[in-house]
Structure 1
Amino acid sequence: MLRNYIKIAWRNILRYKTNSVLNILGLAIGLVSVMLIALYIQNELSYDTQFDQAERIYRVNMKGKMGDNSFYAGYTPPPAGDALVDQFPEIESATRIYQPDNTKLAYEDAANPKVFNESEILAVDPNFLEVLSYPLQKGDPTTCLQEPNSIVITPQIAQKYFGDINPLGKTLAYGDGKKSLQVTGVFEDLTQYPASVKFDALMPVANFNDVTYFNWSWVWLNMATYVKLTPQASTHPASLTRLQSRFPEMLKVQAAPAFERIGQPFEEFLEKGNYWKLYLQPLSDIHLYSQGITSSITEQHDVKSLYILGIIALFIVILACVNFMNLSTVQSVKRSKEIGIRKVLGSQRKQLIKQFMTEVLCYTFFATILAFIMILLILPVFNGLTGKDLHIQAFFDGNLILLIVGIIVFTILLAGIYPAFFLTSFNPIRALKGKAAKTTKSSFIRNGLVVFQFFIAITLIICTLVVFSQLQYTQQKDLGFGKDRVLVINNAESLGSSALSFKKELIALAGVDEASSSSGMLTRGEFGDFYTPKPTADEPNITTDISLSSYLVDDAFIETLGLEVKVGRGFDKRFKDSLSVILNETAAAQIGWKNPIGKQIRYPGGNMEYYTVVGVLKDFNLESLHTPIQPFALFAEESQSYDTRTSFISLKISGEHTERLINQVQDLWKSYSENTPFEYSFLDEDLAYAYQEDQRLASLFTVFTILAIFVACLGLFGLIAFTAQQRTKEIGVRKVLGASISSIVKLLAINFLKLVVLALILSVPVAWFAMDNWLQDFAYRIDIPIWAFLAAGALALAIALLTVSFQAIKVAIANPVKSLRTD
């Protein structure tokens, strides 16, 4: 019997070719969308799950408050790991990660020397690979990082420096000091290993004196610490809660000497309403559940984007099924007599339902094959949109293949049940008279399906417009500085004492308007610490500690970046500014000074120096608009207020003959620092990179919105064809009586446009709620624009009108004589 069902299904697929193509194409698009999104989500959810005993591994995070500023950080002080292991038997081991700034590697081969700046080098404790089990293809994970002069590299780095030669035992020179490091291990290809900590090379943290120096400090937050708990502590939530509840007492003992050393007694610090806390975050949560937790070491995304994409995938596959239902009801007019005859000849309804479900199964089978072919073709483009390296082989992963099979079964049931029961419910007498499909109930259902399709499509259009509006806002908003025509040169610390001469020669180049040096650069990170305002006679009660991010800069920095001094002055060579500071408006307001000029702040982390405020800057955004403006300060380079590991040189350029100017700057760089590769970027590009995830989401919105509109139009196309078939004779009579083509098109189109308007009304509150929730992630956001709703409605109406008109005009220009002869 099944063979007979399949044979009849195949004949009907061939008989109704147009309908079959639309059905298969609609279902294939739905399956492609859901399969691609499922592949993306599966990759995101798999981060950090491959490690041995991953459920026992946690990152130690810091939660702190200084004055009015609070923060969450994926960093800890250097001694935190050892202290946790010593104090708590529930913690089995700990390992630390440090991110160096100097990342130059060289292979000093006489025949073919190679020097590159590597942006993904991490320094780690010797037991790092025992806690986080990244796989090695060469070397022993328990010993490869034991010696300070060792380095473990990825296959890409091995190929880059050594070609096809076995890299084990080879020597690389690190940094400006050319420290010799011997390759003691090579990883497997980590590009297919989704982990929140990504790197190209690992070296022992013992190589870095600043880490060794700050081993006493509980306020120097530059280390990421991971701990492995005992099986008992990690499997019982109550045990984990009890463990963390004991951290504050440990900190009171361990951190007190460090706070005392910087002139800030820990008890006094806490009495001011401040806090300094450690807490544990499961390894599996780091990638998707770290919103608000600062970390440049880990790759952190927002789980909300997965929810959004999952909902879009579900909607599109439902749209495809709804489209199938509509097209099946169109077919009902053509097949009503077939059904009537089969019923008269004795076919039971159960047999007819099996027949139609078999047809749906065949349609879905062909749609699935087409979907896999389409995925093979578009997966590279999808990878470009998402920044992933996904492969079709992932579909054969156990969990994912079950999901895909489940989606296909869901599609078959959703797409097939209504048409099967609808088509088999015809009264055989009415079916043979051609009146079977003309029921109010079926018309209501079909119209409801059209409303649902366009409700989804319009909602996605509105969301896409709002996302792009926010991105445009981020690009156009006045950030408080000049981002255009600013060329940023990296690794300026390698110039050493020659930096001043290098800047003088830069400013002499045609096309360079300003040149300045700084320890940090916008979006690149900054130094952070807390400071204490000095009470004065007119404001004796201002003693609240304040947390400040800051740069060390020269006297040209403010002018080069186009910053605005609201009160006072900038740094000036005519003054001795080694003990001067320039605050932003937020810092001055948070301290509470009515007139900040001449007031002083003390830095406990240095030599207890007092810095005098000489200027107040208009607030500007150091990071993306996701982050609110924080208290910020500029210190003069000559102050050497703190040790800096980085230095940047910024050039304000005219914008003319830019390529030639860059070549001149590169030549000049080589003459000063020939052993350090020349690296540069433009400030506006750096800022755009901060919105990369938002841009990807916008691109995905656009792609899937287009697919949703296309599928919705397929359904609308089928429904207008159905209506036209039902009203064939009516249209013929109207034409004979003199009706114009435009009046007939209007007759057929007006009801469908009403459905689209209804869909627009329903989509407005849903889209507004979704986008208002998404915009909460931005500290600076747009108000949801009314024009987005109007534009979405107009676009949906235009697309619907175009779809309806195509079929309506075709019917309207048909020969009325043939229409009147139609049975």
Structure 2
Amino acid sequence: MIRNYFKIAWRNLRKNKLYAVISIIGLTIGLTVGVLIMIWIQDEMSYDKIFKDAEQIYRVNVDGKMGDNSFYAGYTPPPAGAALVDNFPEVESYTRIYRPNTDVLESKTDDGKHFFNEPEIYAVDPNFLEILTYPLAQGDPKTCLQETNSIVITPQIAQKYFGSNNPMGKILYYGKNKQPLKVTGVLKDLTNLAATVKFDMLMPVNNFEEVAYFNWSWVWLNMATYVKLTDQAAKEPNALARLESKFPEMLRTQAASAFDRIGQPYDEFLKNGNHWDIHLQSLTDIHLRSGDIVSTISDQGNIQNIYIFGLIAFFIIVLACVNFTNLATAQASKRRKEIGIRKVLGSLRGQLIRQFLAEAFLYTIISAVFAVSLVALILPSFNALSGKTIPLSSIFSNGIWLILLGMTVLTAFLAGIYPAFYLTSFNPVHVLKGSITSIKVGVLRNGLIVFQFVVAIVMVISSLVIFTQLKFAQHRDLGYDKEHILVINNTEKLDVGAETFRQEIAALPHVKEASISTGIFTKGAFGDFYVPQTSESNHPVAKDISLSSYLVDDHFIATLNLKVEKGRGFNAKFNDSLSVVINETAAKQIGWENPIGQKIRYPGGNMEYYTVIGVVKDFNLESLHNTILPFALFSKRSKSYDTDVSFISLKYKSDDPQKLIAAIENKWKNYQQDVPFDYSFLNDDLNAAYSSDRQMASLFGVFTALSIFVACLGLFGLVAFTAQQRTKEIGIRKVLGARVSGIVKLLSMDFLRLIILALIVASPIAWLAMNHWLQDFAYRIAIPWWTFVVAGTAALGIALVTISFQAIKAAMANPVKSLRTE
């Protein structure tokens, strides 16, 4: 019987080729999008689940507040892990990650020396690979990081330094002192590994003196700490909450001396409304549920994107099902006699329902085969668009096959259930007598058309808003010049020659200004506590404040064209070693209306007092996702702190910077032969901060185009069928003198009214959705009115083109042939 159902379904498919092609194309697109998004979602949700005992591992985060500034960071002070293990039996073990500054790695082979700047070297505790079980191709995870002069590398690094030779036991030379490191392990390829933390090399953390030096500190937040809880603590309900409730008392004991050392008695710190709390975050939650938690070593996604793209997949599949339903019910007038005869000959309604569901399954199975082939074909392009490295083999994983099977069955059911019940509901006596002259499904069919275009218009409006926000981010005045700024990295490697090198490149043609600083926008900043020492009359005593800062030379403000609102910048004519320039936000948070001449004390170093000599207009340190923070510029002559990192920024006026870069690189080699010249353009660095947003926008744009295509595909089929149904009417109208334009209007108006209704319904939905999405940006656009106009005009225009193609064809047909049509 089942075989017979599918045989009849195949005959009907061949008989109604246009209907079949439109339905299959729509279902194929729906399933293709569904499979691609499911693969993407599966990859996003699988992060860190590859590690052994992942459910027992947690990252330690610090939630802090000082004055008006709050932060939540995926970093801890160095002693946090050991303190948790020592004080709480629920914490079984810990391991830490420290990310040092970019440094040079050198190898010596038969064909000479090889030097590379390596930014992805992480320093870790010896047990790192035992807790976070990254797969090793060679070496023992228990011993490979035990020795101080050891290093574990990826296959890519092995190939880069040693070619096809076995890297085990080979020596690499690290940093300025060319410290020899022996290769004791080779990781498996991490490219496709779903892990939030990826790296090129691992070396023991005890190679870095600064970590050992700050082992007293509970405010030096430069370590990522992971703890492993006991099996019982990880599984027992509410155990995590009970454990975290004990942390404040532990901090009061452990951190008190550290806060005293920086001039911030801990109890007084808390009484002033501040806090310094520790929380545990599940390892498997880090990638998607980190929200505003700051981390520069974790690949952090957004759970909101899972919901967005999951809805897109669902709606595009539903659009394809709506096409099938609309076209199937539109065909009802053709098939009612078939159904009537079948019922008269004894067919039960259940059998007829199964027949129509079999047809839906046949269409869907054919579409699923095409969809899988299409996914395999376009997966590389999808990876490029989404920034993923999903392998082709993922299509054939058991999980994806189950998802595809479920999607196929669900799609067939959704597409076929209404036509099956509707078409089998006719009374055979009335059908065969011809008393049923029309099929009254207009309300439902029109409702489905409106639904399709509501989805399409919402996605069009959303795409326009997303692209407008990104354009706003790229062109907004950030408070400094970002165009024609070249950033030279690793200039700390020049040591005392850095200033001479800066002077030489500043003298090159086309260079307007050049400056040395310990930081540059988009690449982080030094942050610490400061104590304002005075407040103006009628104002309360200023609270302690957390400031991000750079040490800069006298040329920094001019090079970046920062706008000095009050006072002055640094100048060689003055002794600015104890001077500071702050931004407007810092002045406002402290409560200074006239900041010039006021003082702040730095609790670190020698407890120096710094006098405010200038206020610069606020500028965005990072992307527009982040608010402007209190910021300070200190003169390099102050030497109050040392970040061991340096950049040279230069402003050029050449339209062809490559010649300038070549000239700078030649001068670099005169100063430093063993450090590769490394540079970037500030504008490119800023654009990179929006890479994930652009990827989302690109995917959203593609899915929007597909949703419009699927909606128009169904509209095309319905117009074709309507024109066919009204063939005689059109012929009569032409004989009576109707023009082609009048007939096109006749066939178009009903559909265009539905598109206008869809626009009215879609507009508030799109506004609400985009208003929610924009909340992720600290600085954002107001949703422009023109996006609704453009979306509506585009929808009407595309629909009109779709309708007109068939309407004009029907209107221009020979009326004699039309009137002969049975």
Cα distance, 1:644 vs structure 2: 1.2
In the alignment, the residues of structure 2 paired with residue 153 and residue 643 of structure 1 have an alpha-carbon distance, to the nearest angstrom, of 29
Aligned residue in 2 for 1:464 = 463
Aligned residue in 1 for 2:286 = 286
Whether the 8 Å contact between 1:152 and 1:186 is mirrored in structure 2 is yes
Cα distance, 1:273 vs structure 2: 1.1
TM-score (norm 2): 0.98
Aligned residue in 1 for 2:27 = 27
For each residue in 1:243-290, what CA deviation from the matched residue of structure 2 results, as whole angstroms up to 9, or x when unmatched? 111111111111111111112211111111111111111111111111
* Letter of the structure 1 residue corresponding to residue 682 of structure 2: L
In the alignment, the residues of structure 2 paired with residue 432 and residue 475 of structure 1 have an alpha-carbon distance, to the nearest angstrom, of 68
In the alignment, the residues of structure 2 paired with residue 202 and residue 455 of structure 1 have an alpha-carbon distance, to the nearest angstrom, of 52
* Alignment root-mean-square deviation, CA: 1.4
Aligned residue in 1 for 2:410 = 410
Say which is worse superposed, 152-161 or 40-49, in terms of deviation. Answer: 152-161
Say which is worse superposed, 734-743 or 238-247, in terms of deviation. Answer: 238-247
1:326-405 map, 5 Å: 326-405=326-405
In the alignment, the residues of structure 2 paired with residue 299 and residue 564 of structure 1 have an alpha-carbon distance, to the nearest angstrom, of 35
1:2-401 map, 5 Å: 2-401=2-401
Cα distance, 1:431 vs structure 2: 4.2
Whether the 8 Å contact between 2:485 and 2:651 is mirrored in structure 1 is yes
* Letter of the structure 2 residue corresponding to residue 717 of structure 1: F
SS of residue in 1 equivalent to 2:333: helix
Aligned residue in 2 for 1:421 = 421
Whether the 8 Å contact between 1:330 and 1:721 is mirrored in structure 2 is no
Does residue 1:781 correspond to 2:777, yes or no? Answer: no
Aligned residue in 1 for 2:568 = 569
Cα distance, 1:109 vs structure 2: 2.0
Cα distance, 1:567 vs structure 2: 0.3
In the alignment, the residues of structure 2 paired with residue 352 and residue 537 of structure 1 have an alpha-carbon distance, to the nearest angstrom, of 87
For each residue in 1:20-66, what CA deviation from the matched residue of structure 2 results, as whole angstroms up to 9, or x when unmatched? 11111110000001110000000000001111111110000001111
In the alignment, the residues of structure 1 paired with residue 79 and residue 240 of structure 2 have an alpha-carbon distance, to the nearest angstrom, of 21
Aligned residue in 1 for 2:726 = 727
SS of residue in 1 equivalent to 2:191: helix
In the alignment, the residues of structure 2 paired with residue 532 and residue 584 of structure 1 have an alpha-carbon distance, to the nearest angstrom, of 16
* Letter of the structure 2 residue corresponding to residue 304 of structure 1: Q
Aligned residue in 2 for 1:694 = 693
TM-score (norm 1): 0.98
In the alignment, the residues of structure 2 paired with residue 168 and residue 681 of structure 1 have an alpha-carbon distance, to the nearest angstrom, of 34
SS of residue in 1 equivalent to 2:637: helix
* Letter of the structure 1 residue corresponding to residue 568 of structure 2: R
SS of residue in 2 equivalent to 1:622: coil
In the alignment, the residues of structure 2 paired with residue 254 and residue 6 of structure 1 have an alpha-carbon distance, to the nearest angstrom, of 74
SS of residue in 2 equivalent to 1:279: strand
For each residue in 1:214-242, what CA deviation from the matched residue of structure 2 results, as whole angstroms up to 9, or x when unmatched? 11111111001000001111112422111
* Letter of the structure 2 residue corresponding to residue 658 of structure 1: P
For each residue in 1:537-571, what CA deviation from the matched residue of structure 2 results, as whole angstroms up to 9, or x when unmatched? 85895341000000011110011111000000000
Whether the 8 Å contact between 2:59 and 2:283 is mirrored in structure 1 is yes
Cα distance, 1:103 vs structure 2: 2.9
For each residue in 1:360-391, what CA deviation from the matched residue of structure 2 results, as whole angstroms up to 9, or x when unmatched? 11111110111011111111110011110112
For each residue in 1:80-129, what CA deviation from the matched residue of structure 2 results, as whole angstroms up to 9, or x when unmatched? 11111101111000111000103321112242322111221110001111
SS of residue in 2 equivalent to 1:646: coil
Cα distance, 1:600 vs structure 2: 0.8
* Letter of the structure 2 residue corresponding to residue 115 of structure 1: F
Aligned residues: 822
Structure 2, gaps ≥5 residues long: none
Closer, same or farther: CA 337–815 of 1 in aligned 2, 3 Å: farther
In the alignment, the residues of structure 1 paired with residue 538 and residue 206 of structure 2 have an alpha-carbon distance, to the nearest angstrom, of 47
Cα distance, 1:421 vs structure 2: 1.9
In the alignment, the residues of structure 2 paired with residue 574 and residue 479 of structure 1 have an alpha-carbon distance, to the nearest angstrom, of 29
* Letter of the structure 1 residue corresponding to residue 498 of structure 2: A
Whether the 8 Å contact between 2:376 and 2:395 is mirrored in structure 1 is no
For each residue in 1:425-455, what CA deviation from the matched residue of structure 2 results, as whole angstroms up to 9, or x when unmatched? 3344554577757233x11111111011001
Cα distance, 1:311 vs structure 2: 0.5
Structure 1, gaps ≥5 residues long: none
* Letter of the structure 2 residue corresponding to residue 192 of structure 1: N
1:545-564 map, 5 Å: 545-564=544-563
1:469-484 map, 5 Å: 469-484=468-483
SS of residue in 2 equivalent to 1:27: helix
Whether the 8 Å contact between 2:535 and 2:542 is mirrored in structure 1 is no
Whether the 8 Å contact between 1:102 and 1:645 is mirrored in structure 2 is no
In the alignment, the residues of structure 2 paired with residue 75 and residue 777 of structure 1 have an alpha-carbon distance, to the nearest angstrom, of 22
SS of residue in 2 equivalent to 1:108: strand
Whether the 8 Å contact between 1:602 and 1:608 is mirrored in structure 2 is yes
Closer, same or farther: CA 639–677 of 1 in aligned 2, 3 Å: same
For each residue in 1:312-362, what CA deviation from the matched residue of structure 2 results, as whole angstroms up to 9, or x when unmatched? 100000001001111222333333333333334333322222222111111
* Letter of the structure 1 residue corresponding to residue 283 of structure 2: L
Whether the 8 Å contact between 2:47 and 2:194 is mirrored in structure 1 is yes
* Letter of the structure 1 residue corresponding to residue 199 of structure 2: F
Closer, same or farther: CA 721–88 of 1 in aligned 2, 3 Å: same
Whether the 8 Å contact between 1:62 and 1:279 is mirrored in structure 2 is yes
Say which is worse superposed, 750-759 or 533-542, in terms of deviation. Answer: 533-542
In the alignment, the residues of structure 2 paired with residue 310 and residue 718 of structure 1 have an alpha-carbon distance, to the nearest angstrom, of 27
In the alignment, the residues of structure 1 paired with residue 447 and residue 552 of structure 2 have an alpha-carbon distance, to the nearest angstrom, of 65
In the alignment, the residues of structure 2 paired with residue 437 and residue 512 of structure 1 have an alpha-carbon distance, to the nearest angstrom, of 83
Say which is worse superposed, 340-349 or 355-364, in terms of deviation. Answer: 340-349
Cα distance, 1:536 vs structure 2: 6.1
In the alignment, the residues of structure 2 paired with residue 116 and residue 326 of structure 1 have an alpha-carbon distance, to the nearest angstrom, of 62
SS of residue in 2 equivalent to 1:183: strand
For each residue in 1:593-641, what CA deviation from the matched residue of structure 2 results, as whole angstroms up to 9, or x when unmatched? 1211111111011110011111000000001111110000000111111
Whether the 8 Å contact between 2:566 and 2:616 is mirrored in structure 1 is yes
Whether the 8 Å contact between 1:447 and 1:755 is mirrored in structure 2 is yes
